[in-house]
A and B are shown apart, each in its own frame.
Chain A
Amino acid sequence: MSEFAIRTQGLCKHYGRKRVLHNLSLDLPRGGIHALVGSNGAGKSTLFRLLLGLTEPSSGSSEILGCESCQLTPALRGRIGFVNEEHTLPEWMRVEAVMEMQRSLYPQWREATYREVLGNFDVQPGQRVSELSRGERAGFNLSLALAQSPELLILDEPTLGLDVVAKRAFLEALMFIGTDSGCTILYCSHQMEEIERVADNLLIMERGELKSVSPPDEFSARVHHWIVEFPERPPANNEIPGLLQLRRIDDSYQLTVLDAGEPLQQFLQDRGARVHCKLQVSLDEAVNSYLAKNHRTAQAAQ
């Protein structure tokens, strides 16, 4: 058995002339909750599709549970759960029938988990899937995915559209399925507060490239917020070591920087800057500043 749940090497994907994934190499150990973040179009969903063998890479390779993605057998697929963003389910089927079908397909089916998670939604067994609201469909789909007790569970924006109570119930189920059955969970989300609570590991993608892999608190510890003044000549943005974001408020400069200890201190000293304070930032601020640095803006697109 491979010690890695997921391995990719130099994975690239182009759609026509558009580069969606570039040289992505990732070794994801078994176990734990791995959260993937990135701006829209960072390539998260494409990565999932490649991992699951739903599309072929332009170059490079990917393995999932020790098997090449494009050669996954039905038996292996039975050990992998995938929940897509749209929560696609057969619209014409009744909830009960979908559940029966899933239960018969997955020998590891956990009835208790299914009931516990679904219990947070007002979903009746006799309802047709097409009659469910978006949130109810999400809840139903997630209950099915968790009850299958997969070895690897891949979720694309699972909590989108869930209310606070439902979200909490889902996160709890997600956490304990990870701890209790050693399931590896890879999920992408924009909800930083969720990630802060449940993720063991944070993966950051930007424009088709994997930028950072570390526990969430280690990532936030790399980012700091400085408030300084430059009594003399203010520096240009590209001169400031590690700069992610800069805001000017009256005379003070608010700098958000990455991995900038010594060099920044030296720089500020050389420029005769007055330092008001150096602050730690939350995970939310750290990730947003990081992604904002290269985020496409209307100006840049011109």
Chain B
Amino acid sequence: MIKINTGDSRPIFRQIVDSIRRQIATGELEPGSKLPSVRGLAMQLTVNTNTVAKAYSELTAQGWVESRPGLGLFVSKPRKLFSDREQERRLNEAIQQFINQVIGLDYDAGQLLERLEREIKALEKGQGRSAGNE
């Protein structure tokens, strides 16, 4: 289920992208399953169709889903999306971003690690599509 929070600092199209990627990573959306149509998702979420279209084109560009002409968008088979080097760079960027965001918050290292571990384990519970590790 995709949830949209207005008032989030992420724009809505980004929330849709993140949410679908997470569903794919946890196996909630399996390879080959069909995404709702642009109009269908727009209606379901009450968001502009252009916003959904933008999210879908980003997911397609990143290789998470693929378009079958006339049929719609389908979740792609797991495959390595990035080179080792690019993967390393992205991981580093994500970590730095995380650090910058939590640096001003009142949690110690133990608490932060515990929370991270819980979130990451939740991803692995599914079929364990780990984009890039196959």
Contact = CB atoms under 8 A, between A and B. Distances in A.
Interface of A: 33, 168, 171-172, 175-176, 179, 192-193, 196-200, 216-217, 220, 227, 276-285
A179 B48 CA distance: 9
B80 to A, nearest CB: 30
Contact residues of A: prevailing secondary structure: helix
B10 interface: yes
A281 B9 contact: yes
Interface residues of B, number: 23
16 contacts: A168-B46, A171-B46, A172-B43, A175-B46, A193-B7, A196-B12, A197-B6, A197-B47, A197-B51, A200-B48, A217-B13, A227-B104, A277-B100, A280-B9, A280-B10, A283-B11
B9 A279 contact: yes
A279 B49 CA distance: 28
B6 A196 contact: yes
A137 B37 CA distance: 34
B7 A282 contact: yes
Interface in B43-57: 43, 45-51
A33 B51 CA distance: 12
Contacts of B39: 176, 179
A196 B5 CA distance: 10
Nearest to B43: A172
Contacts of B50: 200
B101 interface: yes
Contacts of A279: 9, 101
A199 B10 contact: no
B42 interface: yes
Contacts of A283: 6-7, 11
Contacts of A198: 46-48
Interface string B92-123: 00000000110110000000000000000000
A287 B104 CA distance: 24
Given A171-B46, A193-B7, 5 more contacts: A176-B39, A199-B48, A280-B9, A282-B8, A283-B7
Contacts of B49: 175, 179
